[in-house]
Amino acid sequence: MQLFAPSGLVLAAALLLAPPLAAQGASDDAAPSDADFATANAALAVAPVFDGHNDVPIQLRERYDNQIADFDFADTSHTGQNGSEDGAMHTDLARLAQGKVGAQFWSVYVPSNPDEPEAVQQVLEQIDVTKRLIARYPDRLRLVTTADQVETAIAEGRVASLLGMEGGHAIGSSLAVLRQLFALGVRYMTLTHSANTPWADSATDDPAHDGLTPFGKDVVREMNRLGMLVDLSHVSEKTMMDALDVAQAPVIFSHSGARAIDGHPRNVPDSVLARLPENGGIVMVVALPAFLSEEVRQWSARRAGEEARLKALFQGQPDAVAAGLSEWETANPEPAATVSDMADHIDHIREIAGVEHIGIGGDFDGMRSGPVGFEDVRGYPALFAELARRGYSQAELEMIASRNALRVLREAEAHAARVRDMAPIETLIAPSAATE
């Protein structure tokens, strides 16, 4: 059974069936109809969601110290405080099935850590716990490393499970470590997380390198040689541009939105979106509310400002700060991001880069909650029904759900095959950069 038709045929069908762009950007208050849900479900039946980013592994570390002998991944809905649903995990086997998830990049993330040897150890621990979790449910999950294996797992009714490494600090500024992590099954690396690495600038740190250093460019080249996807979520705009200048295979943004819709620096600017068609890469649109809604982002900034003001006024008085902040939140309730906001990002990326450069990267279990209507991994059909309401054809929905992501993975593999005789890059990071 072939779940994924050749991308050229899908694109041709999408272009024939798609309505004009002007008909697709209407983010009014209308709800998707039964026909819209039918279109969405038909698309997800043949092209289940291939999600770019899920943080279950760090939840296993933070909640259970990676001790998972008694952890039940069949149902995590009561993993909140004192066995409640409040603060519970977003992901489990039952909800993945409800959400029509067929393939998942599990993020083997560890927090940004200037102690690089420790970061390397920590990411190895996250790879270990993720593999142990997958192995415990062989009838529901399958560890995969190639596009063909993704297709096979989906055809078998199992969630194709891939490893994605979030944050280049985890390679310890060593191409040898990068190669060994690839050998362990890691199939993408996000070049930075929230802080700069010694060789790349992050979107949320003060610039230190003006993008990628020479060593950082060799990291991208070596990832291409291996067939590891270069993930540009979390990196600065200059780092994005430098990576696109160097990359010989499609890049991904595993969990990002469009900066023109929400100005958060974690989102992708139009200058970069415009370059994706030439590169072939994709933006896997995130579900984190502050990245989706400019109103939520502005509220978060005002709250941070109020918290800083209270801390300056009530130094050494945390209870007074907490009380003041609670009072401010009561007077200034947090606005809600919605599935419609997420669809707005997809509309914009489609307009600038094209539908073949869009995917989905929820970031579940890496945030407090998804948007209203998409609070956990059950929400994907609601998003696709909203896109159908906006006029996206079934062929386009299939591309966004998984065909685009599968194409990118396959093209990265094809590039690696073409350069298989190329020697491993042996560049060492400059000593001054390693000690900054």
Whether residue 255 lies in the annotated active site? yes
Whether residue 53 lies in the annotated active site? yes
Identity of the residue numbered 21: L
Rounded to whole angstroms, the Cα distance separating 39 from 33 reads: 10
Catalytic residue among 169, 255, 264, 415: 255
3-state SS record for 213-251: CHHHHHHHHHHHHHCCEEECCCECHHHHHHHHHHCCCCC
CB atoms within 10 A of CB 307: 15
Catalytic residue among 90, 169, 234, 264: 234
Whether residue 169 lies in the annotated active site? no
Whether residue 166 lies in the annotated active site? yes
Catalytic residue among 116, 151, 169, 193: 193
Catalytic residue among 36, 53, 90, 231: 53
Helix (H) or strand (E) holding 252: strand 252-256
Catalytic residue among 51, 116, 166, 376: 166
Contact yes or no for 390/36 (Cβ under 8 A) = no
Rounded to whole angstroms, the Cα distance separating 208 from 162 reads: 32
Q: Which long-range contacts (CB under 8 A, 24 or more apart) does 13-18 make?
A: 13/393, 13/395, 14/355, 14/356, 14/393, 14/395, 14/396, 14/399, 17/393, 17/394, 17/395, 17/396, 18/355, 18/391, 18/392, 18/393, 18/396
Catalytic residue among 344, 363, 396, 413: 363
Catalytic residue among 36, 51, 55, 218: 55
Contact yes or no for 47/4 (Cβ under 8 A) = yes
Helix, strand, or coil here: 19? coil
- Residues acting as catalytic residues: 53, 55, 166, 193, 234, 255, 363
